[in-house]
Structure 1
């Protein structure tokens, strides 16, 4: 599934990767989870990526024990020594979000966070994201189970935001 270019611009503008007119005030550190998870990785192995996230985290809310728990939950525990580029699309997406939660930013921007994941994996990812106290902004066409993690939903329409009464 391809994200609407306007949606990508919206997230890139918030994080500062897109020029814009006006002012955006962010209260805290922001991390963007790109739609294509492999665009996020900087190291070779899953363990290297975890170590880098631990080194660069903003708080110590996720310790090694919690990381090991989530690696098992996400079925990545046996892939620690694997190249991140050998992971399936779903495994890359799970790892990407785990790495972001480990880093503990105050704001997480998620572009099609659950693309390519089955419903069981989506539920696990939502549980993982709930462990983060960060504010989360989702841009997604896949709305399954998002109502369990979001407070409000908006649709980008005619260069503006339209508040939705319910997810459909």
Structure 2
């Protein structure tokens, strides 16, 4: 921490304000942020001044973080439901001869997991679009919908691609 504080002291006020406002984006911990605030206070800039000028917290990033977390959670649940759909569609071939009475439950489970999959796909799509609107990127919704629908057989790959893409977009928010 002492080395970090020394580096912070060499920064001008605008860069210190940037550290205070965007510390999460830069991967800094709360101690670095607090050290920057302390240095600014020593230079005559109070926490109230930072709040009044909009340099205390990055509200756009915080809102985008909520959308990202919701997108990630919905996508993960969609991936789980997708795996359940695949499992339930493979089971009838094995169960039909062994336990035909369970076959109805497997078919019901298949339909329920398919419905759950689509619910969470739509929720993740909405969060994805909200995030891109917040970033200011006019992302083509129609292309995304087609990507989700046509990509359903390969969703387990798209899940990781979208996750990485959205994470990289989060880093561009100012």
Q: Larger Rg: 1 or 2? A: 2
Q: Which has the higher strand share?
A: 1
Q: Which has the higher helix share?
A: 2
